[in-house]
Amino acid sequence: MKTFTWIGSILAISLISMMLYSSISKEKVSEQFAEHLFDYPLPAETSLIAKHQFNGKNFSGLGGSGGYWVVVAIMEMTSTLTKDEILAYYKNIELFPYPKSENRGVELEIYFEDDRRKVEDAKGFYYQNQNLSSSRISSYLLNSADDQINQATGETKYVIQLISGFDYFLNMD
């Protein structure tokens, strides 16, 4: 009987340890992913208003996570630069690395004040354009001939955002 109690205790401690490790690991990976965005230098004449990092499983509206842990990193900014100048600054930005990987493939999203919508979720929030889709930097560059980018005078408020997901240890919550 003592053997079963002893084995049961070891199994319980092991399970609790794995769950704790999984929780800490998800947070650490999420924070490291967000730091890639937060460490990127700001354009001239631009000030940071706020930065946010949210993560969780099944983040609503992001196409379903398929069991992956979703990470959202956001920087809200204001600038005296025009939209064209801001887009020119980010034009040649490299793709960001995926969480838990050195492989690059996460494209920067950018949302200007006149074409963005904040999507609230129990885990946090993220931004979409008014058409309820993402506005990757390349989509602005491809559509630059359109009337989508208007020269602005004064202050330009905008948001840059990264969203990605990663598989995590045993997919336990």
Any idea what the Cα angle at residue 25 is, between residues 22 and 168, rounded to 5°? 60
Q: Report the pLDDT value the prediction gives residue 150, as an integer from 0 to 100.
A: 43
The pTM of this model reads 0.77
- Worst-scoring range by mean pLDDT, 53-57, 118-122, 128-132, 165-169? 165-169
Residues 6+ apart with CB under 8 A from 87: 110, 137, 140, 141, 144, 149
Residue whose C-alpha is closest to residue 95's, from 126, 64, 136, 63: 136
Q: Mind listing the pLDDT tens digit for each residue in 28-46? A: 989 999 999 999 999 999 9
Q: Mind listing the pLDDT tens digit for each residue in 47-88? A: 999 999 998 876 666 655 566 788 999 999 999 999 999 999
**Cα–Cα dist 43/47, whole Å:** 9
Residue 118 has pLDDT above 80, yes or no: yes
**Cα–Cα dist 32/97, whole Å:** 10
Confidence of residue 148 (pLDDT cuts 50, 70, 90): very low
**Cα–Cα dist 116/113, whole Å:** 6
Confidence of residue 110 (pLDDT cuts 50, 70, 90): very high
The whole-chain average pLDDT of the chain stands at 81
